[in-house]
Amino acid sequence: MICAPGNPGIAEECECVPIQVNDFAGLLRLGREREIDLVVVGPEDPLVMGLADAFREQGFLVFGPNKYSAQLEGSKAFSKAMMMRAGVPTASYQTFIDGQMAKEYCRKCFAEGRQVAIKASGNALGKGVVVCGTVEEAEAAVDLLRGLGEAGRTLVIEERLIGPEFSLLTLVSDAGILSLPLAQGQKRVFDGDEGPNTGGMGTYSPLEWVSTGVVNEVEETVVKPIIQALKEDKYDYRGVLFSGLMVTPDGPKCIEYNVRFGDPETESVMPRLGKGFAAALMACAKGEEIPPVEVLDHATCTVVLSSPGYPGDYPKGLPITIGSLPAGVKVFHAGTKLVDGQLVTNGGRVMAVMAQAADGAAAHALVYDAIKKISFEGMHYRTDIGA
């Protein structure tokens, strides 16, 4: 197994090659030289730029959607328009390029008693959504997101939905779909879902409060219609579709789509999978029927350790120490790198600590016990993930 470019964490599991995800020529050359059997594209940026298409054009089997379909994540304006066209239940919305018109629309919504969620249409690395409870917050959010540059050039303003959230990861092939175990994530930076949104501060799985009936409903109303709409545009989807969902008084509604394995949801879901996962990815890449994937009985809880100041400005290069961790715990690296043999911080979300145990309460206790063995200056994390 080969990863490009990788990080100090995944380097313990496989060979890492220092080729960046936007170096299409270098990645294609690596694929040819090493005769790669299956290409799995992880991050959203290369999918949005068309890396899956580039590999497929060279005859490689690829797990990851084409450039057109990747707009479901790369452009929230495109995604919302597709939801409406496909009849996917979601929040009402308007799109704006002009900041003053966006603010006027927000004032109108609040005058009518409706709160809003404001989103940068482009990819803002998990920091492009602001949920607003007042007009003042909404106007400040417009200015904030417009300041993101190209990502915030177009704004999507939605009616704020109320209810518990969960995430569904669904493998998609020409011949069908297969949903993986559910996870629930917490995006706000502080305990009790307070503070600004982030790329995700932690997750847990399974979710006892979401019934099989709700999952089936989501597959029929959120997953299948959007895949069919893409097919109508002559684009097959081969990869994973991440559906961010909220259970409202009117039933489950789609908040967003991602076109890759979500982070940190994946860190809680993958350890719950047994035999058959690799074969399922290969079947998707071939467009064939997806074989079953074993789901294990244990529970998982994942907590993100972030740099001080995240999701705002934060320092880099802070030395990290990791002591002896308990059995059942795994650390997934994100914003880390090695400098002269010393592991240091290199991003906002530094690493995700995952614990698996017999049940949710045990996994929750185990992950926070493990976190005590890890330290770097200003290390921040939520204490209520999976509580």
Residue 20 lies in a domain: yes
Which tens digit of pLDDT belongs to each residue from 278-288? 999 999 999 99
Per DSSP bridges, beta strands 239-248 and 251-258 are: antiparallel
Q: Are residues 98 and 18 in the same domain?
A: no
What b-and-e string marks burial along 150-181, b requiring 16 or more CB atoms within 10 Å of the CB? ebbebbbbbeebeeebbbbbbbbbeeebbbbb
Same domain? For 171 and 277 the reply is yes
Please indicate, yes or no, whether residues 203 and 121 belong to a single structural domain of this protein. no
Domain end among 256, 286, 316:
286
**Domain end marker among 159, 176, 208:** 159
Q: Tell whether 280 and 342 lie within a shared domain.
A: no
Mean pLDDT of 177-181: 98
Residues 27-83 have pLDDT tens digits of 999 999 999 999 999 999 999 999 999 999 999 999 999 999 999 999 999 999 999
Number of domains in the chain: 4
Q: Residue 81 falls within a domain, yes or no?
A: no
CATH number at residue 241: 3.30.470.20
In a shared domain, residues 127 and 53: no
**For residue 197, pLDDT beyond 90:** no
* Co-location of 168 and 282 in the same domain: yes
pLDDT tens by residue, 130-140:
999 999 999 99
For residue 135, the domain's CATH number is: 3.30.1490.20
Domain extent for 359: 299-375
Order across the sheet with 176-179: list the strands: 176-179, 165-173, 239-248, 251-258
| 79 in a structural domain | no
CATH value at residue 341: 3.90.600.10
The pLDDT score that the predictor gives to residue 128 is 87
Residues 190 and 253 in one domain: yes
Assess whether 46 and 116 both reside in one domain.
no
d(CA 16, CA 47): 20
- The reported pLDDT for the residue numbered 124 is 77
Co-location of 149 and 238 in the same domain: no
Output the pLDDT for position 276: 97
* 78: in domain: no
3-state SS, residue 54:
helix
247 with 270, same domain? yes
Tell me the CA distances in angstroms from 377 to 43, 107, 314, 345, 369, one per residue in order.
28, 42, 11, 10, 19
Within a domain: residue 73? no
How high is the mean pLDDT of the chain?
A: 96
Whether the predicted pLDDT of 158 surpasses 90 = yes
Q: Give pLDDT tens digits for 221-242.
A: 999 999 999 999 999 999 999 9
Tell me the CATH number at 58.
Answer: 3.40.50.20
Whether residue 147 sits in one domain with residue 106: yes
Q: Is the residue at 85 inside a domain?
A: no
pLDDT one-digit tens code per residue, 249-277:
999 999 999 999 989 999 999 999 999 99
In a domain, 223, yes or no: yes
pLDDT in tens, 304-320: 999 999 999 999 999 99
Confidence of residue 127 (pLDDT cuts 50, 70, 90): confident
Q: Do the domain assignments include residue 192?
A: yes
Q: Select from 143, 159, 175 the last residue of a domain.
A: 159
* In a shared domain, residues 184 and 250: yes
Q: What is the pLDDT of residues 332-371, one digit of tens each?
A: 999 999 999 999 999 999 999 999 999 999 999 999 999 9
